[in-house]
Each structure stands twice: as C-alpha cells, then as structure tokens.
Amino acid sequence: MIYLDNAATSWPKPETVYAAADKALRGQSGNPGRSGHKLSLAAGRVVEEARLWTARLFGVSAPERVVFTANATEALNLALHGLLAPGAHVITDALAHNSVARPLAALTGVEVSRAPGDPERGVDLDGLAALWRPNTALVVMTHISNVTGTENPVREIGALCRARGALFLVDAAQSAGVAPIDVEAMNIDLLAFPGHKGLLGPQGTGGLYVGAAARLRPLKQGGTGSFSESVQQPRRLPDRYESGTANTAGLAGLTAGIRYIMETGVARIRAREAELANRLLQGLADIPGVRLYGPPPGPSRAGVVSFTLAGYDAAEAAFILDDSFDIAVRAGLHCAPGAHAALGTLETGGTVRVSPGCFTTAAEIDRCLEAVAELTKH
C-alpha cells in the first residue's frame, strides 16, 4: 500500500519509535511522577526526556513550559479556553482548522476577526494589522494549512504581536518537525503541536508550549503527584496542566521521533517534502481535468497537495484510489471549512488531499500520478 495521508497522521514511523514505545510498555511501565519505586521512576524519566527533546526542538529554554496533551486539538483547547474571557478580541485566519474555529465559536463574549489573505500566499500582514483593536488579546494562526500547504508568515506576525502587546498562538499541526520553529526567536507565546504527525511519534501525543506571558486556566483538575495535601490545582508547571496519568509509551515514541528528526535535520526533511510535493504538483498539472489549489511548486513548498478531478466527487476519487490502486489519501473538507470557502470547494465536496511524508519515495508519487491519470480515462 502507498500511504499518502501523512497530514492526518504520519506512517510509517522510524523503527526507533516502535522500539522505544515497546520498551516503555514493557520495562518503564510504572506511573510516572507518582510512586517512588524503580518502575515509576523509570517512567518519570521517559516523560521528562520527551519534555527535554521537545524543548530542544522548538528552542524552549525552560522545558517545564512544554505541557503534554493527547493531540494538537487538546493543546489548542487548553490555550483558547484557558486564556480567553468575555470581552476579548481574537484575530485568526481563514484557513483555520476546526480545532481552532470551534473552540472560538464556543467561547461566549469573545469577538473573532478573520485576517484577509489568499490561499497561495497566506495572511496579508497589513490586512491583519488593520484588524487590531484595543481589546485584541490574542492572534491565533495556522502555521501551514492542512488543506493547501499554504504557509503563513508567522515570524512577521510574531513581531507584530510583540510590538502591539497581544499574545501569539501558533497551530503547528502541519509544521512541527517539518518547518523550523524557534518559539523565542519567533515571538510565539503559545505553540500547539501534535506528536503523531511530523514529529513521527505515536497517536495520543501532542503538547502546548506555554510562554511566560501566557497565564492559562487549566482545562482539567486532578492528581499530579505533587502538592497532594491541597485541593487547589498546583501553580507549578507543567503539573498545573498535566493532571492524570501520562501517555508514557507514547512519549517514549515521541522522543525517538524527535531524535530522528533532529539527527536528519528539519531543513533536510523540508527540502525532501518540497521535492515530493513539487513532483506531485507538476505531474498533476499535466493531467487533463485536474484542478490544483494552494501555492505553486517552490523550494519550500509544504507536502500538502489538494486537487479536484473533473467528473469525480473528491470522496469517490479517494475511494477508487484506495480500493483499486491501494493508495491512501484523504478527501473532503479536512476539518477546515473556512479554507474550502476560500477555495470555492465548500459546497462541492472539498478536495482530494495527497500528503507525502519523510519516508515517501519518488516512485510512490509517480504511481499515484499514474493512478490519477488512469481515473481520468473512465
């Protein structure tokens, strides 16, 4: 089977990820941060090692500011529900995933503006600046769109937020492990990331970097293994936001995924994904009936490619690719209806999304192109 759905979750993982999760499940399987026996201490070290490697990857100087969650959605919910209160104004982008759009819609008394932009170049900086109000508390931006691969200018937006005194939350679901991220150099106050996509870790992992300027209410309260005499949630990080037993085996795998990325180099992974995306875009452009969306080929084109095919509903095309050609892609709205409204594909069933990963080969891309070309003959 040819797996081209890495934007949903990456697969396969490096061998070291499977081995680390297996080792943790068998031999480091006490409850981390709870008991004092060897198995519990071993599990605690697994969790803290994952925190150190995550901090290292994202340029975080205080690792306790990396809070682990089950996925990017939980991290985004912690940031949005934890920070915003009635009367706040938030600026977001049209490409936002539902894991940003839905919490924002659920927050009562919070005003939301969408920064103008286009699906090829991303958010327009002047247009974003023009939306600023005295009560603008937060800017939340998609780093790389999961529909079009469009990259927003997060470094420039971070500088704007710092100059104007709003916090900056970045949804790094499609960029973590693929694009360089340094939260301190890029003025990012809150970084939400999944562990199971570009970081190559197991599902059930993710996290939120919480910068010193961001004071968040916890999403949940409970046991942390610390300050147990008090019914108040501890103020200390990461305990404040990490109640309940951690996903030790998942985090062991996440460390192995991050180590793989750092050994390979984010720049090299990015260049490789751009090469595959460009091959795909150029090949698709030559197939009659294909319509492409998002940025054109380029040296840092993200590995998320969306297209529609004349005569086919996106879901039907994806079904045939899976059923007849053993090629796994995703079709539909990809949980980002705003992006499809901007593309004009909201009412027509969305797009077919092909997302290569760091283990995809050029031959697999060519096989996918042949299969799409084959579809146009029927």
Binding site for ligand PLP (CB under 6 A): 8, 71-73, 97, 99, 142, 146, 171, 173-174, 194, 206
**Would you call 161 a catalytic residue per the annotation?**
no
Nearer to ligand PLP, 9 or 31 (CB): 9
Nearer to ligand PLP, 171 or 239 (CB): 171
The helices-and-strands tally (H runs, E runs) of the chain is 11, 15
In the set 161, 335, 358, 368, the catalytic residue is 335
Nearer to ligand PLP, 33 or 194 (CB): 194
Q: Which two tokens stand for residue 25?
A: 């499940």
Q: Nearest distance from residue 74's CB to ligand PLP, in Å?
A: 7
Nearer to ligand PLP, 6 or 28 (CB): 6
Q: Nearest distance from residue 355's CB to ligand PLP, in Å?
A: 10
Q: Nearest distance from residue 142's CB to ligand PLP, in Å?
A: 5
State how far the Cα of 60 lies from the Cα of 172, in Å rounded to an integer.
15
Judge contact between 208 and 230, C-beta under 8 A: no
Q: Which two tokens stand for residue 170?
A: 């970045």
One-character DSSP codes across 23-37: HHHHHS-S-TTT--S
Q: Nearest distance from residue 7's CB to ligand PLP, in Å?
A: 6
Q: Nearest distance from residue 96's CB to ligand PLP, in Å?
A: 8
Nearer to ligand PLP, 194 or 234 (CB): 194
Judge contact between 367 and 373, C-beta under 8 A: no
State how far the Cα of 97 lies from the Cα of 337, in Å rounded to an integer.
8
State how far the Cα of 35 lies from the Cα of 231, in Å rounded to an integer.
20
- Cα 105–chain centre separation: 20
Q: Which two tokens stand for residue 250?
A: 């998942």
Residue closest to 83 by CA, chosen among 138, 134, 131, 154:
138
Active-site residues, by number, are 335
